[in-house]
Amino acid sequence: MKVLVAVKRVIDYNVKIRVKPDHSDVDLTNVKMAMNPFCEIAVEEAVRLKEKGVATEIVAVTIGPKAAQEQLRTALALGADRAIHVETDERVESLGAAKALAKLVEEEQPGLVILGKQAIDSDNNQTGQMLAALTGLPQGTFASAVNVEGDKVQVTREVDGGLQTVELTLPAIVTTDLRLNEPRYAKLPDIMKAKKKPLDVKSPADLGISVGSRVKLLKVEPPAERQGGVKVGSVDELVDKLKNEAKVL
């Protein structure tokens, strides 16, 4: 079974985000970039399926600028067999990414598609669901356990009320949650081998799609600095502050 894994290039989660002086966007100058943590979990799950003998080939995919090939090489070092880069300098939103992935699903015909449930930069949590809608494939989101048996996959989902297990008929789409696994570190020999693994570069035009943004970014503001707390002497004083200062009542 072929497994298609989508990965995204984001700002490293350890980096403090800075806003440009003109508030037009986030400042990426000399900022460390990395693979989205949820995508790391998706790659790890695909590699584990291959180690179990369930998967025969892992194809890593990303949509983004040329620099995003760094994250594809990381996926190859972690165990992916080959990679596909849909290269674009446009700001790619969830729908654009889903359209590109849908075309690649049509070309590659994978038995399973694994994505992180969300990216830590946009936090939209949309691409997997949109991909399922575009391809007509069953989906299991927020997976904390994945078990493939024959032409079925059982996905244990983290939902508000606890855990829910669904059974999907392959091919299917799964989005990963934090508790699914703990990603491994790439070993130096594997990093060196990854440089020789095949990486195909395509453009959105090659896939017959446009990934142009449908949303105009007007302004980016850093979060307001947290104010110090105060002690109140009575319930009446607390209610008064909540009503007249915090404006939440």
Write the pLDDT tens digit of every residue in 163-193.
999 999 999 999 999 999 999 999 999 999 9
The pLDDT value given to residue 40: 96
Residue 203 has pLDDT above 90, yes or no: yes
The pLDDT value given to residue 249: 78
Tokens standing for 161?
A: 């009320």
The model's pTM: 0.86
Half-sphere exposure at residue 214, Cβ-oriented, CA atoms within 13 angstroms: 7
Place of tokens 């994978």: 110
Q: Which domains does the chain have, with CATH numbers?
A: 2-244 (3.40.50.620)
Residues 244 and 249: their CA atoms lie apart, in Å, by 8
Residue 50 has pLDDT above 90, yes or no: yes
Top-confidence range, 15-19, 67-71, 231-235: 67-71
Q: Mark out the alpha helices in 140-222 (DSSP H runs).
A: 188-194
Integer angstrom CA distances of residue 116 from 33, 99, 127: 17, 16, 9
Mean pLDDT of the chain: 92
Amino acid at 1: M
Residue percentage of the chain with pLDDT more than 70: 100
Residue 224 has pLDDT above 90, yes or no: no
Residue 74 has pLDDT above 90, yes or no: yes
Range name among 36-40, 61-65, 238-242 with the lowest pLDDT average: 238-242
pLDDT band at 132 (very low <50, low <70, confident <90, very high): very high
Specify the 3-state DSSP secondary structure of 78.
Answer: helix
Residue 86 has pLDDT above 90, yes or no: yes
Residue 208 has pLDDT above 90, yes or no: yes
Residues 175 and 155: their CA atoms lie apart, in Å, by 10
pLDDT band at 7 (very low <50, low <70, confident <90, very high): very high
Tell me what the mean pLDDT of segment 198-202 comes to.
95
The pLDDT value given to residue 245: 84
Tell me what the mean pLDDT of segment 184-209 comes to.
94
- 100-118 tens-digit pLDDT: 999 999 999 999 999 999 9
Residue 145 has pLDDT above 90, yes or no: yes
The pLDDT value given to residue 225: 82
